[in-house]
């Protein structure tokens, strides 16, 4: 009932290919992730941007999820998987879910042929927040977002979703009366959609990427433990 893979005594078949003979040694992990997720090998541009977006979002300093994972490993040093799981649980709506919300907004707006000004006005007058705008640290620009947009243009993959994301930046600035940072979530969603990725990729890509970042923090935690210190300082700070 799954079309992804099937294991037999003498071979493993993944998406209709022989894992040992056709894939191992022939495809990189990024291409393989695309094959697993979509059933197809990526085009060159799909692979290039999948790499780019995974690199863009994997790591960003002592994020709350990295801190939570390090505290968890300090408390349970034998379970790397437990600490990774604790960190992934922080990939929620506020922190990493924005790409998913951006993808929904872009998909619906482009499909319905809506105007960015109208979308911005509607959200603003309902007292809402436009997903993908604002960042606690990166002001006025998020360097990762700008870099993704520049490469999308340079390599000719920018399409209607990237165009809408850009126009939305101007519309938001007009509607809110000041520029808001277009953060990394919006270009991730826009580029994935323009390259034909399924909507689930807008959440799956950040989760895979952050797993790599979490593993790096946990490897560092094993060598140089700061988990309990972080917890202690956090708790003292709160007195």
Task: Show contacts with its own copies in window 54-73 (CB under 8 A).
Answer: 54-56, 58-65, 67-68, 71-72
Are residues 177 and 85 in contact, defined by beta-carbon separation less than 8 angstroms?
Answer: no
Using the minimum distance from each CB to its own copies, give the nearer residue, 97 or 196: 97
8 touching its own copies, by CB under 8 A? yes
Identify residues 171-230 at the interface with its own copies (CB under 8 A).
Answer: 198, 200-201, 203-204, 207-209, 211-213, 215-220, 222, 224, 226-230
Identify residues 139-178 at the interface with its own copies (CB under 8 A).
Answer: 139, 141, 143-144, 146-148, 151
**N- to C-terminal Cα distance for the chain?**
54
**Shortest Å distance, C-beta 51 to its own copies:** 4
CA–CA separation, 68 vs 83, rounded Å? 8
CA–CA separation, 28 vs 95, rounded Å? 29
22 touching its own copies, by CB under 8 A? no
Kind and range of the H or E run holding 6:
strand 5-8
**Shortest Å distance, C-beta 219 to its own copies:** 4
- Helices (H) then strands (E): counts for the chain: 11, 3
129 touching its own copies, by CB under 8 A? no
Provide the 10 A C-beta neighbour count for residue 145: 24
């Amino acid at each position: 009932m799954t079309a992804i893979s099937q294991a037999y005594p003498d071979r493993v078949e993944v998406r209709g290919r022989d894992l040992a003979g056709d894939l191992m040694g022939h495809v990189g992990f990024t291409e393989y992730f695309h094959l697993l997720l979509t059933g197809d090998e990526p085009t060159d541009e799909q692979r290039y941007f999948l790499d780019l977006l995974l690199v863009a979002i994997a790591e960003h300093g002592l994020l709350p999820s990295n801190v939570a994972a390090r505290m968890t490993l300090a408390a349970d040093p034998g379970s790397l998987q437990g600490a990774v799981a604790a960190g992934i649980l922080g990939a929620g709506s506020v922190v990493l879910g924005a790409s998913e919300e951006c993808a929904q907004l872009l998909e619906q707006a482009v499909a319905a042929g809506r105007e960015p000004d109208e979308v911005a006005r509607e959200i603003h007058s309902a007292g809402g927040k436009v997903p993908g705008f604002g960042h606690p640290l990166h002001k006025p620009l998020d360097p990762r977002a700008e870099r993704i947009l520049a490469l999308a243009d340079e390599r000719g993959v920018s399409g209607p979703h990237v165009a809408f994301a850009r126009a939305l930046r101007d519309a938001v600035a007009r509607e809110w009366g000041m520029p808001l940072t277009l953060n990394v979530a919006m270009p991730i969603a826009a580029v994935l959609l323009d390259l034909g990725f399924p909507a689930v990729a807008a959440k799956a890509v950040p989760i895979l990427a952050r797993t790599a970042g979490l593993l790096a923090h946990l490897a560092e935690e094993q060598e140089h433990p700061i988990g309990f210190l972080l917890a202690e300082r956090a708790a003292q700070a709160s007195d």
